[in-house]
Homo-oligomer: A and B are copies of this chain.
Amino acid sequence: MCGIFGIFGNSEASNLTYLGLHALQHRGQESAGIVSADGRTFHVRREMGLVQDVFGARHLEALAGRAAIGHVRYSTSGVSQHKNAQPLTVEYSLGKLAVAHNGNLTNAPQLRAELEQQGAIFGGDSDTEVIIHLMARSRAPTLAKQMVEALAKVQGSYSLLFLTPTAIVAVRDPHGFRPLVLGKLRDATVFASETTALDLMGATLLREVDPGEMVVVDDMGMRSSRPFPADRPTRCVFEHVYFAKPDSDLFGASVYMTRQRFGMQLALEQPAAADLVIGVPDSGIPAAIGYSKASGIPYDVGLIRSHYVGRTFIEPQQSIRHFGVKLKLAAVREVLKGKRVVVVDDSIVRGTTSRKIVTMIKAAGASEVHMRISSPPTRWPCYYGIDTPRRAELIAATQPVEEIARFITADSLGYLSVEGLGAAVGDPESKTFCMACFTGKYPTPIRNVEDEAPVRAAARG
């Protein structure tokens, strides 16, 4: 889970990258970094923390140049380290190179072992370093050709932005797992994980960088090529379900409208006899409104989200505990009191948060709680960059729906079907989206799925 941004051809490249990363902050809150290029050398800042905390006015001033790339990163396993903050910067035979990566390589451990056998040294844990080593070992004469050679060897997901002192190269893997769009801001070319970053600065969306496409931008202009063998695109449906910002257009469709369609389809598949529909903020809201529209049950706001729960919040120890979700969400008693409530959320992972939410809503006076999930049961880990726990921790991997309902203390529980999900994203036969987290059908070879622990989760882009 990461966000990337790049711009070529604007004298305020680093300022705009800062704004772009701010718009992508929901894709990663652990570290933030910008590398700018002034035609001759790089200027670098990357630190642990939020975009607004990492960059002050004097840092942005020092990031000189008309080109820049940036990265925000999320880490889950607690192994959050400065050495994994991106963009990575290296020097090698063709000179200076910086890279920002969103995605996860499924054959990174094997490639890394092979490279180490050949004498490579690694400074961090990230898959991204594997790509750079493969490039550095290529005998190809140009950066672009080295990239093609290197990327032909990797499997998995990657939306990549490379920066040299004089150019930006954007590449997206042939399956197009992770998003990447191309835009224009006056004379400058802009790349971003999501369109919300373009909207913020008034840039025009041109199109997606296509799955398997490579785009080079430098002072000579922009060239596109498709150097990889064609493959079936399988974009990540979970970006629509949960991860992307609702005002973004993702893979050509509005995230907000897609989520609302999930809710409408969910109402058809999983009706409920209820007085009220509420959503779990933030990602459950659009689906809740969709559920309300399709079911005719009135929508209202039953949970208020706090704007002030950040990374540094200390949960007092001792006898006071289990505040968890209450620090973030507060129930609106007068809305819920005595009501049969449909609660729409985007997914259930371990079930513990849902259980707390149901408890809170009942404590506020709801007479019945009918939990409705705007995606199918999450039964398989993701190997393409979404952070999910091992199978054993996914409640839906081991428990039937009725058992989950009992665990979360809901009066009923209903999930959207895989077919319904597909219909809502315009892919009824699950052909153009990756839905492996729901179906277990991984579009690329994964070795030993059942046992594989996300051992390098910390370093996933």
Contacts and interface: CB of A to CB of B under 8 A. Distances in A.
Contacts of A60: 314, 316
Interface in A91-150: 91-93, 116-117, 119-123, 132-133, 136-138
Contacts of A444: none
| Copies of chain A in the complex | 4
A448 interface: no
Interface in A266-320: 282, 285-286, 289, 293, 298-301, 304, 306-310, 312-314, 316-320
B320 A245 contact: no
A320 B201 contact: yes
A360 to B, nearest CB: 9
Contact of A256 (B310, B313, B334): B334
A215 interface: no
What 6 pairs between A and B have smallest CB-CB spacing?
A15-B316, A254-B334, A119-B137, A247-B330, A93-B116, A90-B121
Interface string A7-35: 00001100110110011011001000000
A120 to B, nearest CB: 7
Given A52-B312, A93-B116, 7 more contacts: A15-B316, A57-B317, A83-B89, A119-B138, A201-B320, A256-B304, A307-B307
Contacts of A307: 25-26, 282, 307
A53 interface: yes
Given A15-B320, A246-B332, A301 B289 contact: yes
27 contacts: A11-B319, A15-B320, A22-B306, A50-B310, A55-B314, A56-B312, A56-B314, A60-B316, A92-B119, A93-B117, A93-B119, A116-B136, A119-B133, A119-B137, A123-B123, A196-B330, A199-B330, A246-B304, A247-B330, A247-B331, A249-B333, A254-B334, A254-B335, A256-B301, A256-B304, A256-B332, A285-B301
Interface string A215-242: 0000000000000000000000000000
A56 B312 CA distance: 8
B119 A136 contact: yes
- Interface bin, chain A: 35 or more
A233 to B, nearest CB: 22
Nearest to A119: B137
Contact of A313 (B52, B314, B317, B327): B52
B12 A316 contact: yes
B93 A245 contact: no
B308 A300 contact: no
Residue of A22, A60, A83, A314 with most chain B CB atoms under a 10 A cut-off: A314
A22 B199 CA distance: 33
Contacts of A52: 308-310, 312-314
Nearest to A94: B116
A60 B137 CA distance: 39
A319 B123 contact: no
Contacts of A246: 301, 304, 332
Contact of A245 (B22, B330, B334): B330
